[in-house]
Amino acid sequence: MNYNLKEMDTYAKKWVKEAGENIRASFPKTLNVTSKSNPNDLVTDIDQATEQYFIKKIKETYPDHKIMGEEGYGDEVTGLSGVVWIIDPIDGTMNFVHQQRNFAISIGIYVDGEGMIGIIYDVVHDELYHCIKGNGVYLNEKSIPKLTEAKVSESIIALNATWVAPNKRIDHQLLIPLVKDVRGTRSYGSAAMEMVYVATGRIDAYMTPRLAPWDIAAGIIMIKELGGEATDLRGEEFDMLKQNSLFVSKPGLHGDILRNYLKDGKW
């Protein structure tokens, strides 16, 4: 297949900025909010319109590329051969609805299964995080430095409080020792934002037992590019066609946490 990463990156960033402008323009208007799988799984007309906007642009420009989008307007993607755009039009929809901040547009572009371009746009702050594999990661025009090692006792980890209270998905006792040993915990409510916080070193790690491919597609490319580690909670590679657990971290810290805190979990 014929593809040009630089050109795709330029278009993707342009479309993301345009979509962000439309999202900012929507703030004074009344949102049409409905729920999907459960009453807390929200979607708005803006999530849907944003995804449709990307699909129109991508299909016009690259008719042979495939698109996997959270809101289901893309293709039925059953394999990762060729170029696949993995899109979350708004990651952190609950924040978007309640706070009008702490959400992002996330686009990962995969070529034959390999993550090549990652774009995460913090719409409210006009902060565009972007990366082409092998060329570093940038926040707007500024290069983001490589990640350095950190100790558990001096780290801040992002983790949702759900996972240390009784819940349906995991044994909530498993993560309590880690929460006690780290310097602090945070929860931002958008996986894409939490991953750029790891990429920029604002936090040291982020973990969660279940995310969809579009939540993680862009962020894991950036973290790996910066020398960080991105695996599931067992330390294994992701399957971008399924739900996965996620554990992203600075180097060194990743192995320490896996060995000392995560190894007994049935993730």
Binding site residues, ligand 2AM, CB under 6 A: 37, 41, 70, 88, 91-93, 160, 189-191, 210-212, 215
| Partner whose binding site includes residue 2, from ligand 2AM, Ca ion, none (CB under 5 to 8 Å by kind) | none
Within 10 A of 61 (CB to CB), how many other CB atoms are there? 13
Note whether 51 binds Ca ion by CB under 5 A. no
- Min CB(92)–Ca ion separation in Å: 7
With CA atoms as reference, report the closest residue to 196 among 109, 115, 114, 106.
106
87 and 69 in contact (C-beta within 8 Å)?
A: yes
Please give the helix or strand (H or E) that residue 19 lies within, else none. helix 5-26
Specify the amino acid at residue 233: L
With CA atoms as reference, report the closest residue to 158 among 186, 181, 193.
186
| 195/258 with CB nearer Ca ion | 195
- Min CB(146)–Ca ion separation in Å: 29
| 77/212 with CB nearer ligand 2AM | 212
Q: How does DSSP assign 61-110, residue by residue?
A: H-TT-EEEETTS-S-------SEEEEEEEEE-HHHHHHHS-S-EEEEEEE
- Please identify which residue in 20, 66, 68, 88 interacts with Ca ion, judged by CB under 5 A: 88
- Min CB(149)–ligand 2AM separation in Å: 27
Distance CA 190, CA 94 (A): 9
Which residue matches tokens 């962020």? 219
| Partner whose binding site includes residue 69, from ligand 2AM, Ca ion, none (CB under 5 to 8 Å by kind) | none
Per-residue interface string for the shown chain with Ca ion, residues 137-156, x marking contact by CB under 5 A: --------------------
Distance CA 65, CA 1 (A): 10
| 111/199 with CB nearer ligand 2AM | 199
| 150/217 with CB nearer ligand 2AM | 217
Distance CA 200, CA 33 (A): 32
| Partner whose binding site includes residue 215, from Ca ion, ligand 2AM, none (CB under 5 to 8 Å by kind) | ligand 2AM
- Min CB(237)–Ca ion separation in Å: 23
Note whether 194 binds Ca ion by CB under 5 A. no
Which residue matches tokens 């707007």? 140
Query: Where on the chain is the footprint of Ca ion (CB under 5 A)?
Result: 70, 88, 90
